[in-house]
Structures are given as C-alpha cells and as structure tokens.
C-alpha cells in the first residue's frame, strides 16, 4: 500500500488512473526498476494524491523504512518514457 502523487502535467487516458484496469507502469527505486500495476484504491488524478495497493512483478527490497520511488510509463512501441509521479510505501504497525 502506498501514498501516490500524480504529476499535474501527466494526462492519463480518460483523465484518471483507475486501479484494477490492468494498466502497467514501472517503479524506479534507487537503482532498481520493476513493472507494476495499481490493484485497488483511490482513483488517481493529475496533481493529486491517493492511497492505492501496488503489485510489483519483481521483488524490490528496502531497509525497513519502506519503498520510495518514481512512477514511470514506458512504452517501447512508441519509444516514450514519461514520469507519471512518485510513491511512498505506507508501513503499517502490527
């Protein structure tokens, strides 16, 4: 689960990113990158924050303080790389 901020200059399809629709993004954490999808949570609008559940395809480790990184849209067919926003993992105390 993460707090996600979407860049106000990013223009998603239909004006928002809807978790669970299958759109794939990439998360860059320090020097590692992994494809991921937003699984559930708030609709994400440009220039705003939202809380969503993210599922990464590759394991990304952290030092216990949580993941913080950049969200990118990489489209190899159109040769595009766009910075979509940023995220910070929410650590739940158990």
Domain boundaries, the chain: 2-89
H or E stretch covering 25: strand 24-29
Residue range 29-54, pLDDT digits in tens: 888 889 999 999 999 999 999 999 99
Digit-coded pLDDT (tens) for 62-79 = 777 788 999 998 877 777
Please give the Cα distance from 67 to 71 (Å, whole number): 12
Question: Is the pLDDT confidence value at 87 over 90?
Answer: yes
pLDDT in the model for residue 28? 87
- Give the chain's mean pLDDT: 88
Percent of the chain with pLDDT over 70: 98
Q: Which residues pair with 54 in a beta bridge?
A: 38
Please report the sign of the dihedral spanned by the C-alpha atoms of residue 35, residue 23, residue 1, residue 81: positive
Instruction: Write out the CATH class of domain 2-89.
Output: mainly beta
């Amino acid at each position: 689960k993460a707090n996600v901020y979407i860049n106000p200059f990013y223009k998603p399809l239909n004006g928002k990113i809807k978790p669970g629709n299958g759109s794939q993004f990439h998360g860059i954490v320090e020097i590692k990158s992994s494809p991921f999808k937003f699984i559930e949570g708030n609709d994400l609008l440009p220039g705003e924050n939202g809380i969503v559940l993210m599922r990464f395809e590759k394991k990304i480790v952290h030092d216990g303080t949580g993941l913080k990184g950049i969200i990118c849209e990489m489209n190899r067919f159109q040769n595009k790389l766009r910075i979509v926003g940023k995220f910070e993992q929410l650590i739940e105390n158990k």
